[in-house]
Amino acid sequence: MRKYLCCFCNPRNNDWNKWLPFACFVYNTTPHTMTKYTPYEVLFGRKANIPGQLQQNTAPLYNYDDLVHDVKQKLQACHEAARANLIQSKQQRVARQVSKVNMPIFSKGERILLRNEKAGKLDCLWEGPYTICEVDPGGSYVIIERPRKGK
């Protein structure tokens, strides 16, 4: 919101309160990068009435039931499309993140330490060392041998 206000305010930034409703309107009528819909459209199921568009003639609605049915259909279609766009963008983000992950490759006989996820403040963060006895052919699962006490 701050960046929107910076576009409208004077150089001394002392008149931001006059421009706040306009900045809110601009934000609410700008398509979101994830959903590809404006926040106004997702909330109300129709595009906002922008002053330049107010001059256009609208199609008449004949009764209340038609209006309710029309708004309900538009809201459902908008939410389904927004949900599909969110799922698609999530899959793209996950794919980008997975491509950045460097999984270690283990081989038989290596000794490793395991992080103790349940460690308290004064407990050791690492357990082990453990010896790798067998590696899954896919390389994703490792079977380890627990250290024997006294060794």
Each residue's pLDDT tens digit, 71-129: 778 778 878 888 888 899 999 998 888 888 777 777 788 888 888 888 888 888 998 88
CA distance 151 to 4: 65
Residues 11-59: tens digit of each pLDDT: 777 777 877 787 788 888 888 888 888 888 888 888 887 776 555 666 6
What tokens does 19 get?
């421009």
CA angle 128, 134, 139 (to 5 degrees): 100
Task: In whole angstroms, give the CA distance from residue 20 to residue 26.
Answer: 10
pLDDT confidence of residue 5:
67
Query: E strand or H helix at 132, and its extent?
Result: strand 126-135
Cross-strand bridge partners of residue 131: 111, 145
